[in-house]
Structure 1
Amino acid sequence: MSDSAPRRARVRAPELIGKGGWLNTGGRQYTLADLRGRIVILDFWTFCCVNCLHVLDELRELERKHRDTVVIIGVHSPKFVHEADHQAVVDAVERYGVEHPVLDDPELATWKQYAVRAWPTLVVIDPEGYVVAQHAGEGHAHAIERLVEELEAEHEAKGTLRRGDGPYVPPEPEPTTLRFPGKALLLPSGTFLVSDTTRHQLVELAEDGETVVRRIGSGTRGFTDGDARTASFNEPQGLALLEDGSVVVADTVNHALRRLDLATGEVTTLAGTGRQWWQGSATSGPAREVDLSSPWDVAWWNGKVWIAMAGVHQLWAYDPADDTVSVTAGTTNEGLVDGPGDQAWFAQPSGLAATPDRLWLADSETSALRWVDLDGAVHTAVGTGLFDFGHRDGSAGQALFQHPLGVTALPDGSVAVSDTYNHALRRYDPATGEVTTLATDLREPSDAVLVGGDIVVVESARHRLTRLRLPEEAVRVEGAAHRTQREATEVAPGALRLDVIFQAPAGQKLDTRYGPSTRLLVSSTPPELLRSGEGTGTDLSRTLELDPDVPGGVLHVSAMAASCDDDPANEYPACHVHQQDWGVPVRLIEGGANRLPLVLAGMDEPSMPGQN
């Protein structure tokens, strides 16, 4: 921080504790004392969370530029039961190219010590072991880099900065044909095209699903058009066949759609700029001039390429007739709300499957199977919200999935769901409203394609395609239901003061030129939890009335603030939109808190543990 910045009482950073131990350190266990003299950035993340994946990408350049002074420590803090499995964390660290140490904290011990409330959260610790900043959400890499530069200068002058190599030790590469494949497509030739996500390639496999026919892409992260050898991708996922015989690719971390000419192997860009979409960006227009955000899957439906835009919880579409993209459903609010497309809420839609009258989708963070009708309205077949998941067969109202990533239309009108975190293939039959289990012991299935009477499953964490005969009867498994491991905030019934705390970054001010610059949206699960206070308004503080007859639930809060550079001499100041969504589990008890403070990131001043 600069000398003119206000100082707060210094808070010693709590120790790093995680029952799962350390990854990417060559087996060494670390304490904060071992890192004294370095600037430490803690990244509280969980691998289901697309915002967390965005932060991993934001931090790559900072890691590279400040490798001799900064140590980034990922603190893996699970939401889903599957994410508490140590091997799943090991897989995720490799899958997403995490090149810094990771502390596996399955019991959320360090999360609680730092009073973290949201995924992702970044905490900055100075070389003397004191917390100097805390930011929730994504989009803070530039602010943190400025702080890092100030800390480098300050502690270099004090003699408390220690430069040198960091503790990161890369794992040994594994010689598998595929590495964490994402999606697959059956080509007209009978071969399979697979997105080899972690190796940033597409791989064509022979009809046996094992023999490599060709690889497309250089195999290194990049955003380059060209032939099969020189073109580059960045963690590609979804694949769909177009009417002209080419393939559209969801190039997820490049925030783009790419086109593959199957005959020549040539790769070109269909849509996206390579930049991530932010609030205030265009939501329609010429395809290569509009920013996208983590497109995860694609499907050809009703004359357009529909896009599961996981990064902003929406569905978009690319129209080849006029070479444009536009939003087709979703508000960017994260949750499960049905209705007309422009009012629906999604939560990381990650899998699509088209039938003549429905577009099915796997809505991963709500563990839901949903669909869009020909009028554009959104419906839910299975699933109840962000915090309920499990493995339970039965009627649609009782059945549970756990973070599904893929959905496949079956010939009889039913759909197969790649129930990723349950390691299972499930089936939903719209005619009966029943969910059954087709197969278990699949390691993180993320997609499946039909081949005659068989179904070929992408076993992402086993790095292979697995062929199964569709059974006549489901395999029965013992049901289980879960809620997230986050502890509920204890609040008093009745009046609860909600305060979203926002301070514009240094050198900026709230933008009030065109009216109110803030927005607050509040809802709850179940809806009966809120007697009053739900809805949208412009004040960042609001009094909610909680029904004492409802024992608890989740408050869904979405806040936005717009700020602009505070320079009267600048006729065209740069403006910034700050947005954060929270799902806050609450439990109503007498004597509980009557105020709920939430920090909307945007402050350059430090935020201490407990303030967020």
Structure 2
Amino acid sequence: MSDTSPAPTPRRARVRAPELIGEGGWLNTGDKQYTLADLRGRIVILDFWTFCCINCLHVLDELRELEESHRDTVVIIGVHSPKFVHEAEHQAVVDAVERYGVEHPVLDDPQLATWKQYAVRAWPTLVVIDPEGYVVAQHAGEGHAHAIARLVEELEAEHEAKGTLRRGDGPYVPPEPEPTALRFPGKALRLPSGTFLVSDTTRHQLVELAEDAETVLRRIGSGERGFADGPAAEAAFSEPQGLALLEDGSVVVADTVNHALRRLDPATGEVTTSAGTGRQWWQGSPTSGPAREIDLSSPWDVAVFGGKVWIAMAGVHQLWTWDPVGGTVAVAAGTTNEGLVDGPAAEAWFAQPSGLAATADRLWLADSETSALRWVDLDGHVHTAVGTGLFDFGHRDGAAAQALLQHPLGVTALPDGSVAVSDTYNHALRRYDPATGEVTTLATDLREPSDAVLAGDDIVVVESARHRLTRLRLPEEAVRVESVAHRTRRAATEVAPGRLRLDVIFQAPSGQKLDLRYGPSTRLLVSSTPPELLLKGEGPDTDLSRDLELNPAVTEGVLHVSAMAASCDDDPANEYPACHVHQQDWGVPVRLAEGGADRLPLVLAGMDEEAGEAGEV
């Protein structure tokens, strides 16, 4: 007699989940404080995120479908773990939770207490806890929703059979909506009529304001998150951001979460789609071709430069172009690696470009994650005016080489050839003068300024977190402020000088296997800041483990690690299995010290048997 009983569930590592602690307390729970014991019987997914991080915002969107389809068994908890000083402010976290439509409880962890308990090393990281309170999986980076959904189904079946699954309503309590005309506006554009068009990001609309920058004339978009063309009342956006005026009088819109460029006819209010498919671009996808057939990734701003529309493609740390005449898109600059590297367009590195402004001979850009002001010349070379890298930021005026910004999102060309920078996390408007190389402060006490536009002798600033446009007179002289410098809040990992074993841990998610059809399915790229930190081991290779040699003469720095692995669904009955790319970039601050670690493990995807080991560093 054949055995028809179901195959046993594979054994998972049993690692007790540490308690959830955070000085900032809980959001989206109706002021109730929770412990893991309160959630026993539910499948808990911890999403370690920070609101500056585009990859974290991608994960928020990836989790929406899982959150809805398993609402009675799964509780998603965002653990907000700040990188920038501003992100440690509680009100800033409250604002971000509303701004990005987070519909689950969030633990505000400004001191990274829970981050450290779970040995997290990268934003974003997802941790799955079973109904009995044990960690069963950990995934760094984005693109893991498919694997986690399969794991959730396995856990539901396993714990339903054991009697340890508890169904019911979750702890999420939505906040009361605020009755403001705008809600977290992103970017603004002055139309030829003198009115202002504003991307009302959180309400998924465009709003036209009168010349006073206050009176609402009309709204474009249904106000519901969606992706639909049509007349003003029926069109749908998803967190729109950048706006640019084309020669024919139409407006191109960076429809960020729809991964698309939309086109608005201001005369009729009609909205159409010009570029993008609505799907997010992944490694291996085409990067040029007919605009409506190519995937984009979180376009954040747009500007007309050199006859084409340039796109700040924040989601992949690149600049792309769209040709409205030819109807094509293509990569213009950047490698998809995250960092600050100047040079020819094809070799440059960016970190979440989020603001663009064009002059006759330069395309200025706010490179937010490096807290940098950068520019592209007519020959396609990339230059940095202000900023040093991913982990240095602050508010410091003076010579550009010493000046500091903090996560700027906007840049505006001024009539005298200088540029104004919406220095978002410093709540300031800054000015850089290429003629003198000096950075000054134009205004302070703004609340998360994300863009600014000229209006005669005035500059109108988008105060995103005050939900309004603010008109300022351009001063003849800037106001100097006291200098403040910061480095990222993450503690450095102490490592021994000399040989360091780097292991990127990858385990194909349940139901998948490595894709070896076309050769190696993994890739590892390593570099460092400063470059002198690495004596050996930099560059690309296909092995996810590598021996590095650290320079004893360099006491501290940052290891930049980019890993990628491809896996496919392991189903012999499926002739065309779905394949998935897992990618993560780490910037690991290290301090060289005798007796420090000689091994650095980083978890790319899957944890199971590696769980305890990954938590040792």
| Shorter-chain TM-score range | over 0.9
Structure 2 Cα separation of the partners of residues 115 and 527 of structure 1: 27
1:176 to 177, 180, 183: 180
Preserved CA contact (<8 Å) 1:132 1:606 = no
Out of 231, 253, 265, the position equivalent to 1:227 is 231
Question: 1:176·1:463 contact (CA, 8 Å) conserved in 2?
Answer: yes
User: Could you say if the C-alpha distance between residues 570 and 286 of structure 1 is closer, same or farther in structure 2, counting changes exceeding 3 Å?
Assistant: same
1:7, distance to aligned residue in structure 2 (A): 2.1
- The 2-side partners of 1:576 and 1:123 are apart by 19
1:287 matched to 2:291: yes
* Cα distance, 1:6 vs structure 2: 3.9
**Other-structure match for 1:447:** 451
Counterparts in 2 of 1:148-547, with a 5 A limit? Answer: 148-547=152-551
Deviation, structure 1 residue 511: 3.1
3-state SS in 1 of match to 2:343: coil
- Normalised to the residue count of structure 1, the TM-score between the two structures is 0.98
The answer to whether the 8 A contact 2:62-2:145 is kept is: yes
The residue identity in structure 1 corresponding to 2:592 is L
Asked if the contact 2:333–2:348 (Cα under 8 Å) also holds between the matched residues in 1, the reply is: yes
Change (3 A) 1:173 1:323: same
Query: Per the alignment, do residues 429 and 239 of structure 1 end up closer, same or farther by CA in structure 2, a change over 3 Å counting?
Result: same
Q: Residue 563 of structure 1: CA displacement?
A: 2.9
Consecutive unaligned residues of structure 1, counting only runs of 5 or more, are none
Would you say how many aligned residue pairs link Structure 1 and Structure 2?
A: 610
CA distance in 2, matches of 1:444, 1:345: 25
Counting only pairs closer than 5 Å after superposition, residues 33-48 of structure 1 correspond to structure 2 as 33-48=37-52
CA distance in 2, matches of 1:244, 1:216: 19
**Cα offsets for 1:44-72 (capped at 9, x unmatched):** 10000000000100111111111111111
Note the C-alpha offset of 1:373. Answer: 0.5
User: Is 1:90 matched with 2:89?
Assistant: no
Give secondary structure in 2 for the equivalent of 1:457.
strand
User: Separation in 1 of the partners of 2:613 and 2:302?
Assistant: 41
1:558 aligns with 2:565: no
CA distance in 2, matches of 1:511, 1:135: 19
Which secondary structure state, in structure 2, belongs to the residue aligned with residue 497 of structure 1? strand
For residue 9 of structure 1, report the CA deviation from its aligned partner.
4.1
Measure the CA separation in 2 of the matches of 1:370 and 1:282. 27
Structure 2 counterpart SS, 1:253: helix
* Overall identity of the aligned pairs, in %: 88
Q: How far did 1:608 drift?
A: 2.4
Q: Secondary structure at the match of 1:591?
A: coil
* 1:611 and 2:614 correspond: yes
Asked if structure 1 preserves the Cα contact closer than 8 Å seen for 2:276 and 2:291, the reply is yes
- Aligned partner of 1:611: which letter? A
Q: CA deviation at 1:17?
A: 0.4
The DSSP-based 3-state class of the residue aligned with 1:91 is: helix
Counterpart of 1:417 in structure 2: which amino acid?
A: V
In the aligned structure 2, how far is the partner of 1:45 from the partner of 1:380? 28
* Alpha-carbon distance in structure 2 between the residues aligned to 1:410 and 1:610: 54
SS in 2 for 1:80: coil
> Which of 110, 114, 119 pairs up with 1:115?
119
Q: Hey, what's the Cα distance between the residues in 2 that align with 1:3 and 1:557?
A: 38
> For 1:20 and 1:202, how far apart are their aligned partners in 2?
33
| Residues 42 and 74, structure 2, Cα contact 8 Å, conserved in 1 | yes
| Aligned CA distance change for structure 1 residues 235 and 607 (closer, same or farther; 3 Å) | farther
Amino acid at match of 1:201: Q
Give the aligned residue type for 2:360. Answer: P
Deviation at 1:38, TM superposition (A): 1.1
Deviation of 1:473 (Å):
1.4
Distance 2:201 2:338 in 1: 25
Identify if the C-alpha distance between structure 1 residues 263 and 42 changes in structure 2 by more than 3 Å, giving closer, same or farther: same
CA drift of 1:87 comes to: 0.3
Deviations 1:20-47 (A, max 9, x none): 0111111111111111111111111000
Q: Which amino acid aligns with 1:533?
A: G
Using the TM superposition, give the Cα deviation of residue 160 of structure 1 relative to its aligned residue in structure 2, in angstroms. 1.4
Q: CA deviation at 1:609?
A: 5.6
* Cα distance between partner residues in 2 of 1:548 and 1:308: 39
Shift, 1:534, TM fit? 1.1
Q: Residues 44, 147 of structure 1: CA spacing in aligned structure 2 closer, same or farther, 3 A cutoff? A: same
Q: Distance in 2 between matches of 1:305 and 1:64?
A: 37
Q: 2:233, 2:17 → 1: CA distance?
A: 48
Partner letter of residue 65 of structure 2?
E
Quick one: structure 1 residues 35 and 607, their matched pair in 2 at CA, closer, same or farther if it must change by over 3 Å?
farther
Partner deviation per Cα, 1:529-568 (whole Å, 9 max, x = no partner)? 1112111122222111111111111000111222334566
1:499 Cα deviation from its structure 2 partner = 1.5
Aligned position for 1:548: 552
Instruction: Give the letter aligned to residue 614 of structure 2.
Output: Q
Partners of 2:236 and 2:12 in 1: how far apart?
A: 47
> How high is the TM-score relative to the length of structure 2?
0.97
Query: What's the CA shift for 1:350?
Result: 0.1
What RMSD, in angstroms, separates the aligned Cα atoms of the two structures? Answer: 1.4
The amino acid of 1:252's aligned partner reads T
Q: What are the superposed Cα offsets for residues 411-450 of structure 1, whole Å, 9 maximum, x if unpaired?
A: 1110000000000000000011110000000000000001
